[in-house]
């Protein structure tokens, strides 16, 4: 029996698709075509997104950029918070007297604090100067090395008139034998030579040009105290 759908001119033939052995109702064929087209579009879109995500096509990397920006913003916030914390800490340190390595009006140099009385205190005799320094847990200055003296001279250069400063140096025990207050003999320090020494000049003072002169201990003069820096206590 002849298949009517294969018969040319049959009214139902237009609803069928015939390609050789392939034969399918028209509506199913159209569904198949639409599904294939949609599938192709989905694959194309997926490939495009993957390529964009991989940084191809001249586009940005979506997730990495998002993560980088997110990470950068997070780091900025952390840094900002850290800066604020350190700023507050620095402020607290500098305004907390416990954290000052040297008292106010004292000068700091390589582990020690120095006090120049000129302009701050009335001039005193040598012994009175010793007492002042002792009251502040210090002593009249004993120089350990030349650089230390150079530092003090740089401070003296700021004064309009160079003051004479009592040092912790005397030959009151043995005339002509100058010794620092810590017992060190001056002869061990070649960078200082006491000038104008005599029997009634037993206390040394430092001049602005770096010279050291023997003076009458009963004279009134500014003085130089020195003490070690004290670590802050909490």
Min dist. Cβ of residue 214 to Ca ion (A): 5
Between 202 and 205, whose beta carbon lies closer to Ca ion? Answer: 202
Facing residues of 69 across strands? Answer: none
| Binding-site size, Ca ion (CB under 5 A) | 4
Between 114 and 178, whose beta carbon lies closer to Ca ion? Answer: 178
Between 121 and 216, whose beta carbon lies closer to Ca ion? Answer: 216
Helix (H, G, I), strand (E, B) or coil at 186: helix
Which one of 115, 138, 148, 202 is in contact with Ca ion (CB under 5 A)? 202
Dump the DSSP string for 50-117.
Answer: HHHHTT-TT---HHHHHHHHHHHHHHHHHHHHHHHHHHHHHHHHHH-GGG-SS-TT-EEETTEEEEE-
Between 100 and 219, whose beta carbon lies closer to Ca ion? Answer: 219
Report the DSSP pairing between strands 16-19 and 22-25. antiparallel
Min dist. Cβ of residue 149 to Ca ion (A): 21
Cα 48 from Cα 139, distance rounded (Å) = 82
Binding mask 153-192 for Ca ion (x = CB under 5 A): ------------------x---------------------
Min dist. Cβ of residue 114 to Ca ion (A): 25
Min dist. Cβ of residue 111 to Ca ion (A): 31
Phi then psi for residue 90, to 5 deg, are -60, -40
Q: Which two tokens stand for residue 14?
A: 């237009």
> By the 8 A CB rule, do 207 and 221 touch?
no
Stretch that binds Ca ion, among 5-13, 58-66, 152-160, 199-207 (CB under 5 A): 199-207
Min dist. Cβ of residue 201 to Ca ion (A): 5
In 3D, which of 39, 3, 38 has the Cα closest to residue 18?
3
- 148 part of the interface to Ca ion, by CB under 5 A: no
Interface ranges with Ca ion (CB under 5 A)? 171, 197, 201-202
């Amino acid at each position: 029996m002849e298949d009517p759908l294969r018969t040319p001119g049959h009214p139902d033939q237009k609803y069928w698709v015939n390609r050789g052995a392939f034969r399918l109702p028209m509506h199913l064929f159209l569904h198949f075509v639409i599904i294939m087209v949609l599938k192709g579009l989905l694959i194309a879109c997926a490939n495009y997104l993957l390529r964009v995500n991989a940084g191809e096509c001249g586009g940005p990397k979506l997730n990495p950029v998002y993560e980088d920006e997110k990470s950068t913003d997070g780091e900025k916030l952390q840094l900002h918070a850290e800066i604020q914390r350190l700023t507050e800490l620095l402020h607290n340190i500098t305004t907390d007297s416990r954290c000052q390595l040297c008292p106010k009006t004292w000068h700091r140099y390589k582990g020690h604090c120095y006090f120049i009385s000129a302009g701050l205190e009335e001039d005193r005799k040598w012994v009175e100067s010793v007492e002042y320094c002792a009251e502040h847990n210090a002593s009249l200055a004993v120089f350990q090395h030349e650089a230390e003296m150079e530092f003090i001279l740089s401070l003296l250069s700021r004064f309009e008139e160079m003051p004479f400063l009592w040092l912790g140096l005397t030959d009151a025990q043995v005339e002509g034998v100058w010794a620092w207050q810590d017992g060190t003999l001056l002869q061990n320090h070649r960078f200082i030579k006491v000038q104008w020494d005599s029997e009634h000049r037993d206390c040394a003072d430092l001049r602005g040009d770096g010279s050291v002169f023997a003076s009458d201990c009963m004279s009134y003069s500014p003085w130089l105290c020195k003490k070690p820096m004290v670590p802050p206590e909490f």
